[in-house]
Amino acid sequence: MQNPGAWRLIGRAFLPFAAGYYLSYLFRTINALISSHLVAEIGLGTADLGLLTSVYFLVFAAAQIPVGILLDRFGPRRVQSCLLLVAAAGSLLFAMSTGLPSLLISRAMIGLGVAAALTAGLKSIVLWFPSERVALLNGYMIMLGSLGAVTATAPAEHLIAWMGWRPLFEILAAATGVTAVLIYIVVPERAIIPPAGSMPGRLSFVFGDRRFWRIAPLSATCVGSAWSLQGLWAAPWLTDVEGFDRTRLVGQLFTMSLVLCGGAWIFGTLVHCIRRRGGGVEIIVAVIAGLFIAAELSFILRVPLPSILPWSVVAIVGTATVVSFAVIADYFPPELTGRANGALNVLHFGWAFVSQFGTGFILQQWALVDGHRTILAYQVAFAVNVAVQITAFVWFALPWLGSFGRRMRSIPLFLPACLSDKAETFMPYEQFLVVMPADTDSEW
């Protein structure tokens, strides 16, 4: 991409969608910063706060399948520009809200309005850029969008201290409207013509694929939980359990956001390098999940680690969609990418809603002690998430475990055949493959 035409394409088909995703990430994580203001000014309880923040994920998840179909049918330019206008209206209503019902409606409008923020960008990348660059550009898309999480920490804190949270949402409404117009004017249109002989563009091909259902639960429970934690519950944990004051809290949230951006770039580059060497990327999903579960267990068991270490893992896992979407891209043809990414996002955001609201519900079952929630409340809430993730991890690993078990059981069958008449003389490798039982052939 060293020629001027390539850079013009990046400016027209990539950066406008990155701007939309930036706003989406800002809207997603801003409640962690303004939650104390909402509690003090409007009188929200813990469960109310969890519901308000998570309704974004609920509406976002519900919209993913229709959005995926619309992206495949009408293309990312028209779909994204129209939806962002809904988000702009929701942000303006949020700024004027004085009670929980209007806050919920406006937050739901924001969730609907940014429902295509990522998948529209991914669709544009698939349509306009070479396939060997897709994973790398996906990483850059999420990295640039993750700057919204950075903005939702120290920069937004300074703006709120200067003007208040309501004017901030008025500014966000204006920025979102401008981005919608920019996308409609600048982004080129490209007809989506399925190749001859390709499978019909039906959701049944996505939801009927066993490979999809192998990776989707693990990706959803880990990524969704990471979004839930960073988007809301990291701040209460750091305040109630770690004893952070406001300055330290904002500083750590800022650091986590920087780690989030770096994680997207790392995952995109890693997937790009592995694919260039012809390797599979499913194993990266397993490694990420294992690290995330370990980080959560360190919270639950109160392992004496610097707080930023496990919370950095949480932040990085929030960008693991780069890996998940790369895996999904290998499973389905380009004309189904909108539906496939949307289907996976349904589970990502659906679990984020369940995790965020469920955590608030569990925390509210314990009474406050000196104005703070107890450590036990957080331990129980986090443990429920971990239990679901471990179950999904086992489900993901079952084919590998089954293959390993078959190999172990087959050793007594082919080991004698590997030996000649004299025990110290071994059969050549080619003959070893012949006598090896057929059922040992697998992903190994």
Distance of alpha carbon 355 from alpha carbon 385, whole angstroms: 7
- The pLDDT assigned to 162 comes to 93
Convert the pLDDT of each residue in 418-438 to its tens digit: 444 444 444 444 444 444 444
Mean pLDDT, rounded, for 215-220? 94
Instruction: Determine the residue type at 21.
Output: Y
Q: How confident is the model at residue 185 (pLDDT cuts 50, 70, 90)?
A: very high
Mean pLDDT check: name the lowest of 113-117, 161-165, 329-333.
Answer: 329-333
Closest by alpha carbon to 435, among 420, 422, 417, 419? 417
For the ranges 113-127, 323-337, 394-408, the lowest mean pLDDT is seen at: 394-408
SS3 426: strand
* Residue 417 banded pLDDT, cuts 50, 70, 90: low
How much is the pLDDT for 280? 73
Please give the average per-residue pLDDT across 31-39, as a whole number: 85
Asked whether 373 and 240 are in contact (CB, 8 A), the reply is yes
Q: Per-residue pLDDT averaged across 300-321, rounded? A: 93
Q: What angle (nearest 5°) sits at the alpha carbon of residue 140, between those of residues 139 and 145?
A: 100
Tell me the pLDDT tens digit for each residue of 365-384.
998 888 888 999 999 999 99
Q: Nearest to residue 148, comparing CAs of 230, 57, 49?
A: 230
Q: Which of 257, 232, 255 is nearest to 150 (CA)?
A: 257
Check residue 127 and give its pLDDT: 86
Tell me how far apart the alpha carbons of residues 85 and 197 are, in angstroms, rounded to a whole number.
37
Fold held by 12-186+209-407: Growth Hormone; Chain: A; (1.20.1250)
Structure confidence by residue, pLDDT tens digits, 134-157? 778 888 898 898 898 889 888 998
- Total H helices, total E strands in the chain: 20, 0
DSSP assignment letter at 242: S
- Residues 28, 191 contacting (CB under 8 angstroms): no
Q: What's the predicted TM-score (pTM) here? A: 0.73
Q: How far apart are CA 300 and CA 141, in angstroms?
A: 33
Q: Where in the chain is the domain with CATH 1.20.1250.20?
A: 12-186+209-407
pLDDT beyond 90 at 168: yes
- Across the range 240-257, mean pLDDT stands at 90
**330-370 pLDDT, tens digit each:** 888 777 777 888 889 889 988 988 998 899 899 989 988 88
pLDDT at 320 over 50: yes
Residue pair 288/300 in contact (Cβ under 8 Å)? The answer is: no
- Compute the distance between CA of residue 54 and CA of residue 245 in angstroms, rounded to an integer: 25
Name the nearest CA neighbour of 138 among 330, 325, 9: 325
Chain centroid to CA 288: how far? Answer: 12
At 404, is the pLDDT very low, low, confident or very high (cuts 50, 70, 90)?
A: low
Query: What confidence score (pLDDT) does residue 196 get?
Result: 47
The span from the CA of 24 to the CA of 422, in Å, is: 70
Check if the beta carbon of residue 10 is closer than 8 Å to that of residue 188. Answer: no
Tell me what pLDDT residue 4 has. Answer: 60
Q: Are 341 and 325 in contact (CB under 8 A)?
A: yes
275-287 residue pLDDT tens: 778 777 888 999 9
324 or 204, which is more confident: 324
More confident residue, 199 or 388: 388
Query: Across the chain, what does the average pLDDT equal?
Result: 84
How many CB atoms neighbour CB 408 within 10 A?
Answer: 10
Q: What are phi and psi of 244, to 5 degrees?
A: -70, 140
